[in-house]
Amino acid sequence: MELGNKIGNFLAAVALVTASVYPAAPALADQTRNDQWHLRYLNLAQAHQVTKAAGVAVAVTDSGVFPHRDLTKNLKKGTDTSSGGDGNGSGQTDQVGHGTNMAGLIAGHGHNVNDGALGVAPSAAIIPIKVTGARDNGLGLAAGIEWATTAGVDVINISATAAPSRPLSAAVTAAARADIVIVAGTGNESENIRLAYPAALPEVLAVGAIDRNGKIADFSVTGAKVGICAPGMDIVTTGLGNNYDRVDGTSAATAIVSGAAALVRAKFPDLSAAEVIHRLTATADDNGPPGRDDQCGYGVLNVVKALTAEVPPLEGGTAVTASAQPSVVAPSVGSSADPETEAEESNLPVIAGVAGGIAVLGVLLAFLARRRRRPTA
């Protein structure tokens, strides 16, 4: 009964940031990567020539993270604060699947060279923090953020919501003061005139969702606090039991932006958390009325520009959504790529010249191995 209540509480919390989760269609070899349209939309192949975020730690405060084969190289020991902050457990269990979905979007490394799910920051470390996320108090989420702060992570991904509370506000403030980038979804109730917590807090980068045509998702909550948008519809990612899911919601967009923040932290290690957020918003592509708007804030995430453009420093203060953004000098990707030597770094090579018989056998085996199932939700 206790486990059922915890799962029920978490599902209520993620309802505002996850519009739907459904199994990806059965796929042949390499189809999972092909189905991840956001990789091409964001031009991540070019971004990964600059950095893949080796050495950066991202906390995923969620339902826990299943050790999916596309995550195991990056998945580290975390904790479980779902009982109110006792710090027990590793965070590497997930009865819901939501946390596993988000972790794959942030730091999936795939398998067999270019099969499986690839994340935005495929060399970043994932620190799983299992929280209740209950909207009635948010104590588990607050405790998880506190634990992440003490652990010294670089980015905290919050693809969940909670009711406003002093413990949650205090935890977010402490994390920001510890120079941690905090990213959260705006929520999925488009008729709601108020952003979800903790995205509404001033220290947090609030993320909305767009579809593959660059249009704001119907479910994405809008408002003056929105900072940026990212793909958040029909997104393929890791699921429970080494399966794959398609997800919709600002939670997915949030995880993608958290991955981008990890890349920026790797490329520019001396930037403060406020400057990292500033770089992400200053280089975003304006996709609505000229200038900032309430739908996508400063625009749609542009990962390559965030890593390569010349961005004037943030002037005075650490506000996440300043009233004006500085001009951005056109980017140029050259020989300034960060040296990264981990074996998992080569996730997007071009494969050619596979013998016909081996290819047919691989297709058959992949088809039998990749049966998708709906996560327990």
SS (H, E, C) 272-306: CHHHHHHHHHHCCECCCCCCCECCCECCECCHHHH
Buried b (16+ CB within 10 A) or exposed e, 219-233: bbbbbebbbbbbbbb
CA angle at residue 223 from 221 to 227, to 5 degrees?
90
> Can you spell out the DSSP letters for 57-126?
EEEEEES-----TTTTTTB---EE-TTSS--BS-S---SSSHHHHHHHHHH-EEETTTEEEE-SSTTSEE
Cα torsion at 282, 253, 91, 65 (round to 10°)?
-140
Does residue 251 carry a catalytic annotation?
Answer: yes
Q: How far is the C-alpha of 29 from the C-alpha of 367, rounded, in Å?
A: 7
Does residue 86 carry a catalytic annotation?
Answer: no
Q: How far is the C-alpha of 198 from the C-alpha of 174, rounded, in Å?
A: 13
Sheet holding 155-158, edge to edge: 79-80, 125-130, 57-62, 155-158, 181-185, 205-210, 226-231
Q: Where are the alpha helices (DSSP H) in the chain?
A: 2-14, 31-35, 37-41, 44-47, 98-107, 139-151, 166-177, 250-267, 273-282, 303-308, 356-369
Does residue 293 carry a catalytic annotation?
Answer: no
Q: How far is the C-alpha of 174 from the C-alpha of 96, rounded, in Å?
A: 29
Which residue of the set 38, 48, 68, 98 is catalytic? 98
Which residue of the set 234, 251, 258, 278 is catalytic? 251
The identity of residue 113, as a single letter, is: V
The identity of residue 294, as a single letter, is: D
Which residue of the set 62, 70, 80, 154 is catalytic? 62
Residue 44 has phi, psi (to 5 degrees) of: -70, -25
CA angle at residue 302 from 297 to 308, to 5 degrees?
125
CA distance from start to end of the chain = 16
Catalytic residues: 62, 98, 251
